[in-house]
Amino acid sequence: MTALLELRDVHARYGPVNALHGVSLTVDEGEIVAVLGANGAGKTTTLRAISHTVHRDGEIRFAGNALRGGPEAVARLGVAHVPEGRGTFAELTVWENLRLGAYTRRGNLKDDFARVGSYFPWLDDRRHQQAGTLSGGEQQMLSLARAFMQRPRLLMLDEPSLGLAPLLVTEVFRIVQELNENEGVTVLVVEQNAHIALQLAQTAYVLEVGRVALSGPSTDLQQHESVRRSYLGY
């Protein structure tokens, strides 16, 4: 198993406020890795450090090479970051959102649209609908579809379950799993819903106050005393 993404002693800050204090983690190719933790633990900041939307120090390697440049460069290297709030272009149509997902790709996109259509069949009818008028769940699906249009090697999801009804959450995670199994997309998912995240992921990291407190295979963490008490509720 080769490491697709490696973080070594990464620090990140918002202006003068330090948010990450030396976070190290590894994501192997083809894996699904979950990052858990309470609010303010630094989960979102970790993703932002990787896509370089926040000031960061430390070593970040993607496919063996140092990950440099701004968010655009990171996207072009094959990292799709679906941020908090989904990053939907509400003023543009569904089709335009999907087209933007494939911004970094060249060549004919017919196949990509077809594939997206097979995972999200209802999107076809809504092509010309303004993205902002979609429901919360639909927007979440759209953001996944948009990320998939990018054909990324690494898909980073920031709290995909936020604000969604339980049935929709299951649906979203089912699709993520399919994307991982069928399309070989490596996934790094940040979640507050530890229960479903640990079911989906093979490996998990637990962040506390900007540091990695625990890590390991998710089956182990599911049994871990403090994880059970703090995040799983039993």
Partner 1 sequence: MVELARKLSLPQRRLPGSPVLLLLIAACIFLTIGSLRSTIFAQLTVAGVATGVVFGSLALALVLIYRATEVINFAQGEMAMAMVYVAYQLMLWGLAYWEAFFLTLAIAFVFGVVTQQIFIRPVQGRSVIAVVIVTVGLFILIDGLVEWKWSANQRFMQAPFGNKIYHLGSVPIARQDLGTIVITLVSVTALWAFFRFTKLGLGMRAGALRPAAARLVGVRTNALLAVGWGLAAVLGAVAGLMTEPAEYVLQPTLMQPVLLYAFAAAVLGGLESPGGALVGGIALGIFLNLMGQYVHFVGSVLQLPVAFAALLLVLLVKPTGLFGHRTVRKV
Q: What are the structure tokens assigned to 4, written together?
A: 């697709």
- Nearest distance from residue 67's CB to partner 1, in Å? 14
Read out DSSP for 175-217? HHHHHHHHH--EEEEEES-HHHHHHH-SEEEEEETTEEEEEEE
Secondary structure letter of residue 93 according to DSSP: B
- Nearest distance from residue 152's CB to partner 1, in Å? 10
Do residues 36 and 197 make contact, with C-beta atoms less than 8 angstroms apart? yes
Secondary structure letter of residue 41 according to DSSP: S
- Nearest distance from residue 120's CB to partner 1, in Å? 17
- Nearest distance from residue 44's CB to partner 1, in Å? 13
Do residues 226 and 208 make contact, with C-beta atoms less than 8 angstroms apart? no
The single residue listed with the structure tokens 């980073």 is 156
Q: Stretches 77-85, 167-175, 203-211, 222-230: which one binds partner 1 (CB under 8 A)?
A: 77-85
Out of 25, 35, 41, 81, the only residue in the binding site for partner 1 (CB under 8 A) is: 81
Site for partner 1 in 104-143 (CB under 8 A): 104, 128-130
Q: What are the structure tokens assigned to 131, written together?
A: 């993205």
**What is the C-alpha separation between 151 and 102, in angstroms, rounded?**
8
Chain length of the chain: 234
Q: Stretches 76-84, 172-180, 202-210, 211-219: which one binds partner 1 (CB under 8 A)?
A: 76-84
- Nearest distance from residue 108's CB to partner 1, in Å? 13
Do residues 148 and 179 make contact, with C-beta atoms less than 8 angstroms apart? yes
3-state secondary structure of 8: strand
Binding mask 162-181 for partner 1 (x = CB under 8 A): --------------------
Out of 37, 42, 43, 101, the only residue in the binding site for partner 1 (CB under 8 A) is: 101
Please tell me whether residue 92 binds partner 1 under the rule CB under 8 A: yes
Site residues, partner 1 (CB under 8 A)? 51, 53, 70-72, 75-76, 80-81, 83, 87-93, 96, 99-101, 103-104, 128-130, 146, 150
